[in-house]
Amino acid sequence: MSTAVVWFRNSLRIHDNPFLSWACNSEEVDSIVPVFLLDGYLTSVRDGEIGFNRFRFLVDCLKVLRDNLEKKMNLELKIYTGGALRNIESIFQNLDGENNFLAYEYCNKPRGLMLSSQITEWSMKTPKNCIVKSFPAVHTLLDIEKTISSPTYFDPKSMKNMERIFMNNFDVDSFGYYNINEPIPVPNKTKTNANVSISVNDISISELELELGTLFPDRLNERHYFRGGEDEALDRLSRKIAKQEDFVNRFSKPRTCSTNLDDNPSEPSTTGLSPYITTGCISVRMLWKECEKAYLNGEHTKPPESLHGQLMFREMFYLLSRSVDNWDKSTNNINCKNINWDEYDSEKMDSWESGMTGFPYIDAMMRQLDETGWMHHLGRHAVSCFLTRGQMWQNWTAGRDVFEKKLLDADWAVNNGNWLWLAGVAPFSMPYYRIYNPCPDSKSSLNVETKHANFIRRWVPELRFFPSKYIFEPHLAPLSIQISSKCIIGDDYPLPILDRKKTRKENLARFKASIT
């Protein structure tokens, strides 16, 4: 009797899941144990490193994964707290027979790589034979380790570089598209469910929900626009991609609106799929192929602006996160200029994180992040520029940590890459002197709806009665306007915490001095 322990690591789905499909189809496997290992996650939540929305979204994802495994495959998902390696050891000690398997996907994070190495070492020493099967390119299109070890590999700095790397790793079909494999369907056969229990470390979904309520009692009754899980991910893929061919073909990310859709202030003008890609509720390969179907039917945008281009940028950051030492550090990182940032300023950081800077566009974005766990990419551009080289001169790693805590789509490789990019310190960054105006007008490259300014009114309700003329810089409104708008700046809403024009000029000089 051979059992496959199927470890869901980054990809919380049953569609296009190579390690699950292998276990279901392999003649070497008689039974399956699906597991998810929290591996210190709850400690990070309790320590404040991971916030409410990220935790809540993960619980949603696990609940849907549990239900899909049970209903469609007659398998029971086991969730364990505590260290991953110790749990794996305990699981295999409780398995009958020999030649049991551990099937899991590749993980690019430093801790994940270290754990994979420890598992391989352990499997060679364990008295009970454990055959480890690691599957690459489950959470990405490229096989990251294979790609960076190629003699033709070089650290990419642009979309042109990424196109060369894709050409070196994928064939091109007769239509000129990269020959990405088709997604794997949900297995049409399954195996018996092996009954394994580690009673000390077992935790149920209901217990996770109880933990969520204990840690965040004030947020349990909130309505959540982004619900986690594979079912929601596939539904969004259908609504935003498969059924909107024109949207896919016209998609140009720099031209999307940062203040969401006019008729629905909660719905992104982009796909809104990033949280589901990050948690692996949707296969990146499935998204790529759905976009390709639309491209085959008409003219369409090209990388880097297109949806394929955005997925290629994601691959770029995954590659760099492996080939660049100290990817997540501001020192000893060849992709990060040495900038003498100010010491951490808790007062500035608190005003930025809580959306109380006195700059309504910045504050609206940060409040949206806190409540929903999501923010448009141009909003991220604005708030990160404001925090770093634009106005506040704080180290980008401080902002990165806030995003890591709150974003539903917080991804170690991508989050660090974006902050390096937007702080102006990386080889692939925009020029440091391109600083976003935190008080945008209708012509701003931040693509803000300014006529009605409903996004500001939604997220900064103190200003809901302000005329649009003054709503982005309310401190400039005459006192009579402030009184009639029922919001006195400095009392009901903060004055700007700094002089944006003065700090912009000073910071430009400081940045230039640092790199010359």
| DSSP character string of 25-61 | H-TT-SEEEEEEE-TTHHHHHHTTSS-HHHHHHHHHH
CB 426 within 8 A of CB 420: yes
Top pLDDT among 32 and 222 is at 32
CB 70 within 8 A of CB 76: yes
What Cα–Cα distance (Å) separates residue 371 from each residue in 49, 132, 354? 16, 41, 11
Three-state secondary-structure class, residue 474? helix
- Structure confidence at residue 416 (pLDDT): 98
What Cα–Cα distance (Å) separates residue 13 from each residue in 20, 131, 133, 514? 9, 23, 18, 46
Query: Which residues in 85-149 belong to E strands, given as ranges?
Result: 100-105, 130-135
Tell me the torsion sign for CA atoms 85, 413, 261, 234: negative
User: Does residue 30 carry a pLDDT above 80?
Assistant: yes
Query: What would the mean pLDDT of 137-158 be, rounded to a whole number?
Result: 97
Query: What would the mean pLDDT of 15-20 be, rounded to a whole number?
Result: 98
User: Does residue 501 carry a pLDDT above 90?
Assistant: yes
User: Does residue 302 carry a pLDDT above 90?
Assistant: yes
- Structure confidence at residue 266 (pLDDT): 82
- d(CA 78, CA 91) in angstroms, rounded, equals 11
- d(CA 272, CA 237) in angstroms, rounded, equals 9
Q: Classify 5 in phi/psi space as left (phi over 0), alpha (psi -120 to 50) or beta.
A: beta
Query: What would the mean pLDDT of 460-472 be, rounded to a whole number?
Result: 98
pLDDT band at 263 (very low <50, low <70, confident <90, very high): confident
- d(CA 274, CA 410) in angstroms, rounded, equals 9
pLDDT band at 358 (very low <50, low <70, confident <90, very high): very high
- Structure confidence at residue 480 (pLDDT): 98
- Structure confidence at residue 197 (pLDDT): 66
- Structure confidence at residue 198 (pLDDT): 65
Among 7-16, 188-197, 317-326, the range scoring the smallest mean pLDDT is 188-197
- Structure confidence at residue 262 (pLDDT): 77
- d(CA 406, CA 425) in angstroms, rounded, equals 23
Domain 346-515 CATH (choose: 3.30.420.40, 2.60.40.10, 1.10.579.10, 3.40.47.10): 1.10.579.10
Query: What would the mean pLDDT of 450-469 be, rounded to a whole number?
Result: 96
Query: What would the mean pLDDT of 10-20 be, rounded to a whole number?
Result: 97
| Average pLDDT score, the chain | 95
CATH topology of domain 142-179+229-323: 1.25.40
Top pLDDT among 59 and 200 is at 59
pLDDT in tens, 195-209: 776 667 899 999 999
User: Does residue 98 carry a pLDDT above 80?
Assistant: no
Q: Which of 307, 266, 274 is nearest to 290 (CA)?
A: 307
- Structure confidence at residue 511 (pLDDT): 97
Residue that is written with structure tokens 């709850």 in the block:
42
User: Does residue 126 carry a pLDDT above 80?
Assistant: no
Query: What would the mean pLDDT of 472-477 be, rounded to a whole number?
Result: 98
pLDDT in tens, 410-450: 999 999 999 999 999 999 998 999 999 999 999 999 999 99
| DSSP character string of 419-431 | HHHHTT-STTSPP
Taking every pair of Cα atoms in the chain, the longest distance, rounded to a whole number of angstroms, is: 82
- Structure confidence at residue 135 (pLDDT): 98
CB 296 within 8 A of CB 245: no
- Structure confidence at residue 502 (pLDDT): 98
CATH superfamily of 1-138+207-219: HUPs (3.40.50.620)
CB 95 within 8 A of CB 3: yes
| 3-class secondary structure per residue, 256-281 | CCCCCECCECCCCCCCCCHHHHHCCC
User: Does residue 146 carry a pLDDT above 90?
Assistant: yes
Whether residue 156 is preceded by a cis peptide bond, meaning omega within 30 degrees of 0, is: no
Beta-carbon contacts of residue 90 (< 8 Å; ≥ 6 apart): 198, 201
Top pLDDT among 265 and 50 is at 50
Share of the chain above pLDDT 70, in %: 99
Query: What would the mean pLDDT of 355-375 be, rounded to a whole number?
Result: 97
User: Does residue 229 carry a pLDDT above 80?
Assistant: yes
Query: What would the mean pLDDT of 453-471 be, rounded to a whole number?
Result: 97
pLDDT band at 127 (very low <50, low <70, confident <90, very high): low
- Structure confidence at residue 203 (pLDDT): 95
- Would you kindly state where each structural domain of the chain is located, as residue ranges? 1-138+207-219, 142-179+229-323, 346-515
- Structure confidence at residue 270 (pLDDT): 96
pLDDT in tens, 268-284: 999 999 999 999 999 99
pLDDT in tens, 366-396: 999 999 999 999 999 999 999 999 999 999 9
Top pLDDT among 306 and 125 is at 306
Compute the residue count for the chain.
Answer: 516
CB 405 within 8 A of CB 349: no
CB 279 within 8 A of CB 139: no
User: Does residue 18 carry a pLDDT above 90?
Assistant: yes
Share of the chain above pLDDT 90, in %: 91
- d(CA 80, CA 202) in angstroms, rounded, equals 5
